[in-house]
């Protein structure tokens, strides 16, 4: 039976191109990038080329990119680092952030920091007015994700960033602005200057790169203490032997997803000269065309899936913004069914999806995101997240929906509430 992988938001398959780029650094080019002899220097050069590629994808300078073990570490470093740099103070975030943000905020609350968790509307939008209204004299950080990992809603990051910048100009209060871009990076265009963010987190395995590697963008001039201690790697900011193969694979995946092709760096160049900045700017411009093609392709498949689910399966509703959402994200509630049972039955048909974030898959509670946007407790249990990849076709969608319909009908026949509604549809 054919497999239908519909959980790309949890992780993506490693692309052939990324694996090929990694292989030399898993075999013959095994040098430690922190050593001074030839093997190590070749590894270091590969890391710096990758840093330039990643920087170009978001309009950053290479010196502003720090490689990490993934999005969770990057989020932790951004929040804990900003908090420690400020000693004491106030943090603003929202109720539907990934647990890498929410749990870190809870940790900081135990250490004496105050956190405001902003509500969202029924489509999952954070209100920029609410962000500004929450600012206090001791506010040191705002953290709002680019796009929600469960419902796909894209947040008004550029507007929030512009208003925080204006606030700083008018009052002199400099508030750091962090965004978790793990789900959005390489799926929609991102430019750190347009967004006016100071910190951005991303992860490789959401864009057909390897697991275990990500980056933190740290705007020049922003001072954060080191998060991991024990070495001088990453210019003394993040200790630990560089994951050279992972970094190279990440850069190759980002290069393909965003369409960048930075010029090779000469041995005499630093990672942050005017020349490399210019090359990065040109590379970022070139990313728009292939990314636009990817967005158009994924959006067409996504919209086809949404239409078929809503048109053909009664008592089904879409969660999140119907249009301003990630191109590969579909999140729906099927009333009168239990989502975990649905997942098990779909698995038997080789359809692989999720009920929410993979990082919260062990929880028995309904999604905090769905509850925050006003979904009833019992309906939240009937939610399903289907996230697509470039290899997902219209034909795949048609086959998946055709397989899902009898399963959902079967589960509803076992629901006393559904039977009552069906018997008296006017009630």
Q: What pLDDT, in 10s, does the model give residues 352-390?
A: 999 865 554 545 578 999 999 999 988 898 999 999 998
Say which residue the tokens 């600012």 belong to. 135
Residues 6+ positions from 69 with CB-CB distance below 8 Å:
212, 213, 214, 243
Instruction: Of 177, 117, 129, 124, give the one whose Cα is nearest residue 149.
Output: 124
Q: Do residues 310 and 303 touch, judged by C-beta distance below 8 A?
A: no
Start-end of H helices in 222-320 = 233-236, 244-258, 274-286, 288-312
pLDDT at 35: 87
State the catalytic residue, choosing from 105, 258, 333, 359.
359
Cα–Cα distance measured from residue 367 to residue 383, given in angstroms and rounded to the nearest whole number: 9
- 8-state DSSP, 155: P
DSSP state at residue 29? -
Alpha-carbon gap, residue 181 to 6, rounded angstroms: 20
In sequence order, which ranges of 58-179 are alpha helices (DSSP H)? 71-86, 99-110, 128-133, 157-171
What pTM was computed for the model?
0.90
Tokens matching residue 132: 């500004």
DSSP string, 333-359: EETTS-HHHHHHHHHHTTEE-BSS-GG
Residues 6+ apart with CB under 8 A from 418: 315, 335, 336, 337, 412
Residue position matching structure tokens 């602005």: 177
Q: What is the pLDDT of residue 309?
A: 98
Give DSSP secondary structure letters for 222-239.
-----SS-SS-HHHHTS-
CA distance 135 to 139: 6
Rounded Cα distance between 269 and 342, Å, is 56
Task: Report the C-alpha gap between 175 and 172 in whole angstroms.
Answer: 9
- pLDDT tens for the chain, 427 residues: list them: 899 999 999 999 999 999 999 999 999 999 989 888 988 899 999 999 999 999 999 999 999 999 999 999 999 999 999 999 988 899 999 999 999 999 999 999 999 999 999 999 999 999 999 999 999 999 999 999 999 999 999 999 999 999 999 999 999 999 999 999 999 999 999 999 999 999 999 999 999 999 999 999 999 999 888 888 888 888 878 878 899 999 999 999 999 999 876 544 433 334 343 333 433 444 444 455 678 888 999 999 999 999 999 999 999 999 999 999 999 999 999 999 988 899 999 999 999 999 865 554 545 578 999 999 999 988 898 999 999 998 999 999 999 999 999 999 999 998 877 777 776 665 4
Element (H, E) at 67: strand 65-68
Query: Is 359 tagged catalytic?
Result: yes
Set out the domains of the chain in order of their start, with CATH numbers: 4-11+290-423 (3.90.1150.10), 16-286 (3.40.640.10)
Instruction: Characterize the bridge pairing of strands 329-334 and 316-318.
Output: antiparallel
What's the Cα-to-Cα distance from 392 to each of 7, 181, 255, rounded to whole Å?
A: 11, 23, 21
CA distance 383 to 362: 15
């Amino acid at each position: 039976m054919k497999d239908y992988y519909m959980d790309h938001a949890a992780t993506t398959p490693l692309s052939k191109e990324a694996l090929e780029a990694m292989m030399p650094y898993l075999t013959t080019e095994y040098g430690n990038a922190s050593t001074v002899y030839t093997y190590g220097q070749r590894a270091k050069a590969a890391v710096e080329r990758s840093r330039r590629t990643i920087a170009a994808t978001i309009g950053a300078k290479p010196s502003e990119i720090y490689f990490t073990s993934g999005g969770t570490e990057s989020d932790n470093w951004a929040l804990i680092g900003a908090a420690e740099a400020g000693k004491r103070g106030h943090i603003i975030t929202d109720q539907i952030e990934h647990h890498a943000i929410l749990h870190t905020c809870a940790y900081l609350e135990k250490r004496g920091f105050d956190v405001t968790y902003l509500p969202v509307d029924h489509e999952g939008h954070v209100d920029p007015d609410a962000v500004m209204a929450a600012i206090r004299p001791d506010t040191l950080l705002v953290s709002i994700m680019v796009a929600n990992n469960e419902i796909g809603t894209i947040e008004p990051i550029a507007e929030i960033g512009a208003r925080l910048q204006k606030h700083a100009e008018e009052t002199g209060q400099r508030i750091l602005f962090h965004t978790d871009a793990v789900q959005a990076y390489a799926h929609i265009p991102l430019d750190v200057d347009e967004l006016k963010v100071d910190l951005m987190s991303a992860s490789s395995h959401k864009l057909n790169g390897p697991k275990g590697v990500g980056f933190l963008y740290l705007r020049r001039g922003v001072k954060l203490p080191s998060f991991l201690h024990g070495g001088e790697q990453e210019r003394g900011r993040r200790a630990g032997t560089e994951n050279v193969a992972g970094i190279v694979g990440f850069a190759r995946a980002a290069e393909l997803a965003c369409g960048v092709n930075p010029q090779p760096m000469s041995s005499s160049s630093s990672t942050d000269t005017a020349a490399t900045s210019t090359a990065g700017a040109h590379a970022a411009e070139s990313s728009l065309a292939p990314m636009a093609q990817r967005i158009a392709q994924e959006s067409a498949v996504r919209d086809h899936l949404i239409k078929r689910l809503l048109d053909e399966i009664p008592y089904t509703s879409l969660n999140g913004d119907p249009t301003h959402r990630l191109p590969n994200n579909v999140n729906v509630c099927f009333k009168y069914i239990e989502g975990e049972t649905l997942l098990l039955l779909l698995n038997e048909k080789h359809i692989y999806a999720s009920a929410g974030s993979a990082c919260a898959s062990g929880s028995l509670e309904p999604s905090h995101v769905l509850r925050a946007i006003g979904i009833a407790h019992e309906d939240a249990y009937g939610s399903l997240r289907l996230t697509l990849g470039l290899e997902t076709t219209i034909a795949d969608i048609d086959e998946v929906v055709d397989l899902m319909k009898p399963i959902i009908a079967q589960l509803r026949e076992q629901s006393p509430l559904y039977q009552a509604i069906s018997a008296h549809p006017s009630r």
